[in-house]
Structure 1
Amino acid sequence: MEIIFTKETQWLQKWDDFVLSEDKASHLMLAQWNATFSGYGFDFEVGILQQDGQIHGGFAAVVAKAAMFRFYVVPYGPIVSEGFEKYLDELVAKVPQRARFWKCCYAHVSLPVAASPNRHVYPTLPELPSLVDAKPGQLFKYVYSGYGLNWVDLRKADSTESLLEMFKSTTRRDIRSAERKGLELRFLETADQIKLGYDLCLQNAEANQYSIRDWHAFGPDLIAMVNSGMAKFLGAFHEGDLKGAVLLLKGGNYYTYILGGSKRQKPDLLAGHFLQWQAIRFVFSEGCDGYNISLGGSAGVINLKNSFADVQIVFENSKYHWVISPFYLKCYMFVESKLKRHKKTLARLFSVLKRKS
């Protein structure tokens, strides 16, 4: 058994196949997903636990860069397949080692552990001596790291009809109302269709004062993920006009809701309810045992998500970090405290500078 670090195309393809089919994995571990951070000038690598070409665990890491500062971020994991738990500590120990290799001042991990009867998380972890020198929590927040699942349990249903009966009467009412309004589901698959859907998500983010990556930073990678089958972009149309869109990404034998947007109008077409229902139907048709509608969002978004979700699975004692260079980290924390109000502007600037470089 050995651990290798690579960005070779052949290994990245094998790694993504592993992430798609390994129950404890997540879309946050996909090489294709982590490669999208190149739009900010970041780098990435995967660490693979393998024997004779067979993958048994590992992690994907983003090397975030901002001026003189570097951060080694493992957004999800490390993980190992069932029966290989004894190698988890060795994988975790590699994280601060690789941070030093990349000359980073900081590193962190986010382990999917929760006391929940769900096969996609670890109920407990083996003893991990590699965490003795780590501190709990996460200091660097600019690369999203997993902290739980907002789970829709599809094992309760054996048909589309019984699927609908899983939800509360108010949710069923809104779904049926949306369907009566004449909304039509289309999968957005061509480059023009994908851009149309993402533009709507950008407009929604702008209107609600939160930020997502601009099209130039994310669009080409999004098109590639849709073409590879890892991502599904669903659109709700009414009389030929796009009224809402949601993006799903696969990993761990389930799909996760990544982002979405809808047009506000009166009367309300309930495009959000329509699209989440269609997403759940699609995930069910794929034979998945659940759908991660994801945690977080505005109060309205959280209410919509939780009207579908069965349980919120929040990871417990899962985040740990290492300070590799205290001086550089303190400098970063000082600068970040002064500039964090300009996060959206800086993100756009870094993206533009990257395109011009």
Structure 2
Amino acid sequence: MTMREVTERSRWNEAVAELPRSHVLQSFEWGQFKAKYGWKPTRLLFEEGAQVRAAASVLCRQLPRFPLRVMYVPKGPLLDYGDGQLLSRVLASLEELARTQRAIFIKIDPDVRLGESKVTEALRARGWRPSSEQIQFRNTMLIDLRPGEDELLANMKAKTRYNIRLAARRGVRVRVGSPDDLPLFYEMYAETGRRDDFIIRPFAYYHDAWGAFIEAGLACLFLAEYEGEPLAGLIVFRFGQRAWYMYGASTGKHRNLMPNHLLQWEAIRWAKSEGCTVYDLWGAPDVLSEDDPLWGVYKFKEGFGGQFVRHIGAYDYPLSRFLYWFYTVLMPRYLDLLRARHRRRG
């Protein structure tokens, strides 16, 4: 098996889209986007003859004031994880790449279901360890899009179906947005962040992410309106045969009209029309408990027929135990101390 770097967009995306567990975060566009924010992508294909067996878009970031790096393979590497020999060869290549790049560690978080084959045992045997820092959601909710629309509706909770029809009956309309609508969506997203107490980045960051994928035809913005007034929006990404509901936003206006339900249904219909067979609702609780902060989100997604899926989560391969401890344990404590002092002075 040979490993080679790919720099051509179409060649990379075509190969990656055909691999098991293909993911939008392994697309050429995602690496291109992250390159604007301090990460350098290296896109590696693993081939046997003319057959592509695996792929890894590896992001590398230089630490300020230190000749050291951290590396991350978002939602990868992509391969058949039931093939233990292939997994070992790909992991060995990633480990060697991290070593030559003088990385503190390399992180992976593939969409491997918990309990699937013996992947976690293979990782631990090679020195990989469960990461204390989960960049992406560990678990998710999936909807099988292969049935027809009537069956998809029948698979939903009765209350969800009712709310979809209620929104349409009361005059909520959903339209496809354009890049010109991104400032509007960001305003709603910022309002959602304030209401639900999560931190968001400046508009320029999201404009680069959302705009690039919309222009490439790999994402679609949906806006729900009532009498011309925007109430809610969401952005769905697609790659290969899967779609991901990654960003959602809403205002506090006319919530009784249930705009989010109709919005989500129209996004599901769009994903199906684009040839996707799976709709990933992107994010679910670590533990199915009413005490979990994501419980309300989980119940909303469950209403659409989403099936809860547990993944193994992120694993790190440390190249230096001391530097890994310094970066993952000591540095966060130091930063927390500085933030606490700043708050007291403020």
Give the TM bin, normalised by the shorter chain: 0.7 to 0.9
TM-score (norm 2): 0.84
Aligned CA distance change for structure 1 residues 340 and 151 (closer, same or farther; 3 Å): farther
Aligned CA distance change for structure 1 residues 233 and 59 (closer, same or farther; 3 Å): same
Match of 2:132 among 134, 139, 149: 139
Alignment pair present for 1:161 and 2:156: no
**Where does the alignment leave 5 or more consecutive residues of structure 2 unmatched?**
285-292, 340-346
**Contact 1:61 1:72 (C-alpha < 8 Å) held by counterparts:** yes
**Contact 2:238 2:271 (C-alpha < 8 Å) held by counterparts:** no
Distance 1:280 1:340 in 2: 41
What is the letter of the counterpart of residue 126 of structure 2? D
**Contact 1:74 1:145 (C-alpha < 8 Å) held by counterparts:** no
Q: How does 1:1-357 map to 2 (within 5 A)?
A: 1-6=1-6, 8=7, 10=8, 12-50=9-47, 55-67=52-64, 68=66, 70-80=69-79, 86-114=85-113, 123-124=116-117, 131-141=124-134, 144-145=135-136, 147-155=138-146, 157-158=147-148, 160-189=149-178, 191-266=179-254, 268-296=256-284, 298-316=294-312, 319-332=314-327, 333-340=329-336
State the SS of the aligned residue for 1:315: coil
State the SS of the aligned residue for 1:207: helix
Aligned CA distance change for structure 1 residues 341 and 84 (closer, same or farther; 3 Å): same
Aligned CA distance change for structure 1 residues 126 and 244 (closer, same or farther; 3 Å): closer
Instruction: Report the CA distance between 1:340 and its aligned residue.
Output: 5.0
Aligned CA distance change for structure 1 residues 106 and 147 (closer, same or farther; 3 Å): same
Distance 1:129 1:249 in 2: 31
Match of 1:346 in 2: none
Aligned CA distance change for structure 1 residues 74 and 38 (closer, same or farther; 3 Å): same
What is the letter of the counterpart of residue 338 of structure 1? Y
**Contact 2:231 2:253 (C-alpha < 8 Å) held by counterparts:** no
State the SS of the aligned residue for 1:46: strand
**Contact 2:13 2:28 (C-alpha < 8 Å) held by counterparts:** yes
**Contact 1:76 1:146 (C-alpha < 8 Å) held by counterparts:** no
Distance 2:337 2:52 in 1: 42
State the SS of the aligned residue for 1:216: helix
What is the letter of the counterpart of residue 174 of structure 2? L
**Contact 1:89 1:128 (C-alpha < 8 Å) held by counterparts:** no
1:65-91: per-residue Cα shift (whole Å, max 9, x none)? 442353111222222269977433211
Question: How large is the Cα RMSD of the aligned pairs?
Answer: 2.8
1:208-245: per-residue Cα shift (whole Å, max 9, x none)? 22123322123123212111111111111222222111
Percent of aligned pairs with the same amino acid = 21
What is the letter of the counterpart of residue 150 of structure 2? E
1:16-37: per-residue Cα shift (whole Å, max 9, x none)? 2233343421112112123322
Aligned CA distance change for structure 1 residues 199 and 20 (closer, same or farther; 3 Å): farther
1:277-329: per-residue Cα shift (whole Å, max 9, x none)? 1111112222322211122374432221121133111124x543211123322
**Contact 2:231 2:254 (C-alpha < 8 Å) held by counterparts:** no
Aligned CA distance change for structure 1 residues 342 and 302 (closer, same or farther; 3 Å): farther
Aligned CA distance change for structure 1 residues 260 and 217 (closer, same or farther; 3 Å): same
Instruction: Report the CA distance between 1:93 and its aligned residue.
Output: 1.4
Distance 1:235 1:319 in 2: 33
State the SS of the aligned residue for 1:176: helix
Aligned CA distance change for structure 1 residues 212 and 44 (closer, same or farther; 3 Å): farther
Instruction: Report the CA distance between 1:51 and its aligned residue.
Output: 5.0
Instruction: Report the CA distance between 1:41 and its aligned residue.
Output: 1.7
Distance 1:325 1:185 in 2: 52
Aligned CA distance change for structure 1 residues 299 and 3 (closer, same or farther; 3 Å): same
State the SS of the aligned residue for 2:210: helix
**Contact 2:81 2:87 (C-alpha < 8 Å) held by counterparts:** no
Distance 1:90 1:167 in 2: 42
TM-score (norm 1): 0.81
Equivalenced residues, count: 328
Instruction: Report the CA distance between 1:132 and its aligned residue.
Output: 2.4
